[in-house]
Amino acid sequence: MPLASLFCLVVAISDGDTLTARCGAPGAYQQVKVRIAAIDAPESRQAFGQKSRQHLARLCFRQRATLQPVDEDSYGRTVAHVRCGSADVATAQVRAGLAWVYTPYAESRPQLAALQQQARSSGTGLWSQKRPLAPWDYRHRRSQR
């Protein structure tokens, strides 16, 4: 059963696919750490990691956000579809070439793969690199050191 949508204010941006939002009624706010569903952005130290974070900040920081929670990840973050203002955040990040489509959570978002293909074809954002390294491969390599 899908959880109810949460109406929040974005108070922090961790990276290109994670933000912190304050949700609920005034005086009864709850801070929620949110991992944006269906995308995986470059890590902070990776190429385009900072650009991805800055793009998300321009979209969402100090903006009203609507969260549609879908899951909780292994770090206790709420995995959610996020809209800041009228923008679907996953769509905006993928279209800008600043996030990969994260297939395990993208079944319900088939349009994202087409946007990723467009960004890749036009060499937008991280796709301007000769061989962009997916964040999950980057994390795997780092964990093996």
Catalytic residues: 35, 43, 77
Q: State the burial class of residue 124 (Cβ atoms within 10 Å of its Cβ: 0-12, 13-18, 19+).
A: middle
Dist CA 122 CA 11 (whole Å): 33
Q: What 3-state class would DSSP assign to 25? A: coil
| All residues at 6 or more sequence positions from 105 whose CB lies less than 8 Å from its CB, including other chains | 37, 38, 70, 71, 79
Q: How many helices (H) and strands (E) would you count in the chain?
A: 4, 8
Which residue, 137, 144, 145, is CA-closest to 46? 137
